[in-house]
């Protein structure tokens, strides 16, 4: 312990020297206080964007880097998961939930200098249907008309009331584009956000530079480098050696302890929207019977998985919802307590013996580790699990997701509020209950309070029918240099909102 302290003080001294050197180099920046704090930031992330165009390329990494930082929409989701106005200064909703009137901020410009007006809103939203292929262009289908009232007022009419529509407007599909800034989205994004992309090297890094003509309150950091590490150890070494300032979501939790015991770093644990799910193919011979699925629910000890795979980090769920979702129901967590005997009884009741199932997991560390625990727990109740590891994304998407050629799989469902997606009969889980789909439809059109009740009902039915085993919610464990403040606690959307980070 003593030698550890000594190392730390050497580290502090080195960091101080580096910090001084940096201050001397950059100058400028915030000047409150005696010495100006450096306004450059280096963030360590895992998955790199494949391109910079989220209109045609999937993957959470593109919105993570660009949404709210480079691109903005009329509304955004704040860090506690609530919708708030962004490019709209205000908005009103009619009694029947069909007509939305947005008032826009004045003097907003895109990074290419073009103005942002009501016409731009119409252009951007109408563009989705024809040009978007990724990130859910269907989310905007409730829109029946977009009317430009004036330069700063736009009226959007829906064909049916939809609560999810406004929520989705805060995500990628609600992004505002300039008509003269969409020619090279994959390499040159043009948005109204506070930052512009100055360099992008796929798989390595993405550099952001603060605009000096940003319309809103400028973030603190003037230069942000997002660095991508395929290897979690390399990432944590970079943090320990001072190469990067913050890791916003650590992926291997056994690495946390070395930072917790070190005063040079701050560790915080928040909530994400990633439900790690043990999917059972409801259409497969093995799991068509609800009793077999329920037997799996009783046979799997979810807390044991969290403890062994995640060093105890993560929240056992029991439902396809995150605690930040308004319809999250804490009572569902213990719907299926760990009870191997009930599992065996259910299997006997279903007349199933010598069951052998194929568990096909993506080659992601958490999935591979969880699969081992699941395999041994299911073996205890007489289910033989044959585990195979598939290359992610390509082979997993092909075999499991597209061809439904599997019995079980384990993967994290990261998109916020993706329960409706999961319940669709065509989805890879093969869960088919028209009543649940009808509840979702009613909930979408209902007033907010009724909506939550209906969503809760649908979530409960899906849990009772064991549509899948939602194992745990991925925690957001961030580690930052001790002098950084405002590191986002939660990850309620795919975006990594840099606006609050300061030094």
Partner 1 sequence: MALTLLRRIGVFVATLLAASIVTFVLLSILPGNAARVALGIDATEEQVAAQEIAMGLDRPALERYADWFGHLLVGDFGTSAVSQQEIGPQIGDALGITAVLVVSSMLLAVLFAIPMGILTAIRQRKPDGVILSGISQIGVSIPGFLAGMLLVTLFAVTLRWLPAGGWSDPGDGIWDFVSHLILPAVALGSVQGAVLSRYVRAAVLEVMRDDFLRTARAKGLTPAQALLKHGLRNAAVPVLTVLGVQIAALLVGTVVIERVFAIPGLGSLLLDTVALRDLPSVQGIVMVLVGLVLVINLLIDIAHTVIDPRLRSAT
Contact set with partner 1 (CB under 8 A): 7, 10-11, 14, 48, 50-51, 53, 56-59, 133-136, 138, 184, 186-187, 201-205, 227-231, 233-235, 237-238, 240-243, 391-395, 397-399, 401-402, 415, 421
Query: Closest approach of Cβ 376 to partner 1, in Å?
Result: 28
d(CA 335, CA 461): 12
d(CA 469, CA 463): 8
Query: Closest approach of Cβ 313 to partner 1, in Å?
Result: 22
Query: Closest approach of Cβ 386 to partner 1, in Å?
Result: 19
Q: Looking at beta carbons only, is 42 or 460 nearer to partner 1? A: 42
Q: How many CA atoms lie within 13 A of 482 on its CB side?
A: 12
Q: Looking at beta carbons only, is 14 or 450 nearer to partner 1? A: 14
Q: Looking at beta carbons only, is 281 or 294 nearer to partner 1? A: 281
Stated length of the chain: 503
d(CA 316, CA 333): 7
Query: Closest approach of Cβ 394 to partner 1, in Å?
Result: 3
Query: Closest approach of Cβ 201 to partner 1, in Å?
Result: 6
Q: Looking at beta carbons only, is 14 or 160 nearer to partner 1? A: 14
Q: Is 5 exposed, middle or buried (0-12, 13-18, 19+ CB in 10 A)?
A: exposed
Q: Looking at beta carbons only, is 105 or 227 nearer to partner 1? A: 227
Query: Closest approach of Cβ 229 to partner 1, in Å?
Result: 5
d(CA 229, CA 48): 8
Q: Looking at beta carbons only, is 316 or 397 nearer to partner 1? A: 397
DSSP secondary structure code for residue 114 in this structure: P
Q: How many CA atoms lie within 13 A of 46 on its CB side?
A: 14
Q: Looking at beta carbons only, is 53 or 481 nearer to partner 1? A: 53
The reply to whether omega before 393 is within 30° of 0 (cis) is yes
- CA-nearest of 145, 140, 147 to 166 is 140
Query: Closest approach of Cβ 204 to partner 1, in Å?
Result: 4
Strand partners of residue 360: 388
Q: How many CA atoms lie within 13 A of 346 on its CB side?
A: 21
Query: Closest approach of Cβ 102 to partner 1, in Å?
Result: 26
Judged by DSSP in three states, 201 sits in strand
Q: Looking at beta carbons only, is 305 or 429 nearer to partner 1? A: 429
- CA-nearest of 421, 454, 422 to 439 is 454
Please count the other Cβ atoms lying within 10 Å of the Cβ belonging to residue 426: 8
């Amino acid at each position: 312990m003593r030698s550890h302290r000594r190392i730390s003080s050497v580290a502090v001294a080195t960091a101080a020297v580096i910090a001084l050197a940096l201050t001397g180099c950059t100058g400028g920046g915030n000047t409150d206080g005696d010495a100006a704090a450096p306004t450059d930031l280096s963030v360590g992330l895992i998955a790199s964007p494949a391109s910079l165009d989220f209109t045609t390329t999937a993957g959470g990494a593109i919105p993570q880097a660009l949404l709210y930082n480079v691109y903005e929409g009329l509304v955004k989701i704040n860090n506690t998961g609530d919708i708030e106005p962004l490019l709209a200064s205000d908005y009103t909703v009619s009694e029947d939930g069909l007509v939305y009137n947005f008032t826009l901020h004045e003097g907003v410009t895109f990074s290419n200098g073009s103005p942002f007006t009501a016409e731009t809103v119409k252009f951007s939203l109408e563009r989705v249907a024809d040009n978007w292929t990724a990130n859910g262009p269907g989310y905007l289908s409730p829109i029946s008309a977009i009317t430009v009232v004036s330069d700063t007022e736009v009226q959007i009419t829906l064909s049916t009331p939809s609560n999810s529509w406004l929520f989705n407007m805060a995500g990628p599909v609600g992004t505002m584009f300039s008509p003269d800034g969409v020619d090279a989205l994959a390499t040159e994004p043009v948005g109204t956000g506070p930052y512009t992309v100055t360099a992008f090297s796929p798989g390595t890094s993405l550099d952001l530079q603060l605009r000096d003509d940003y319309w809103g309150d400028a973030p603190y950091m003037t230069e942000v480098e997002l660095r991508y590490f395929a290897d979690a150890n390399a990432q944590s070494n970079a943090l320990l050696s001072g190469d990067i300032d913050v890791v916003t979501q650590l992926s291997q939790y056994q690495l946390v302890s070395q930072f917790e015991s070190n005063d040079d770093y701050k560790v915080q644990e928040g909530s994400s929207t990633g439900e790690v799910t043990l999917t059972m193919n409801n259409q497969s011979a093995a799991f068509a019977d609800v009793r077999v699925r329920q037997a799996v629910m009783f046979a799997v000890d979810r807390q044991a998985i969290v403890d062994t795979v995640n060093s105890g980090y993560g929240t056992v769920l029991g439902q396809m919802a995150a605690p930040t979702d308004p319809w999250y129901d804490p009572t569902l967590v213990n719907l299926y307590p760990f009870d191997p005997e009930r599992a065996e009884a259910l299997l006997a009741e279903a007349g199933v013996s010598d069951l052998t199932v194929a568990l096909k997991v993506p080659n992601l560390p958490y999935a591979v580790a969880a699969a081992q625990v699941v395999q041994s727990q299911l073996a205890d109740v007489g289910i033989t699990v044959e585990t195979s590891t598939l290359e992610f994304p390509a082979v997993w998407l092909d075999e499991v997701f597209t061809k439904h050629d599997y019995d079980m799989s384990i993967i994290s469902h990261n998109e916020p509020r993706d329960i409706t997606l999961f319940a669709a009969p065509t989805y890879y889980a093969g869960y088919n209950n028209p009543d649940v789909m009808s509840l979702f439809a009613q909930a979408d059109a209902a007033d907010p309070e009724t909506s939550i009740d209906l969503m809760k009902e649908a979530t409960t039915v899906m849990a009772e029918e064991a549509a899948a085993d939602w194992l745990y919610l991925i925690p957001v464990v961030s580690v930052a240099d001790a002098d950084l403040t405002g590191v986002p606690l939660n990850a309620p959307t795919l975006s990594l909102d840099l606006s609050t980070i300061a030094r």
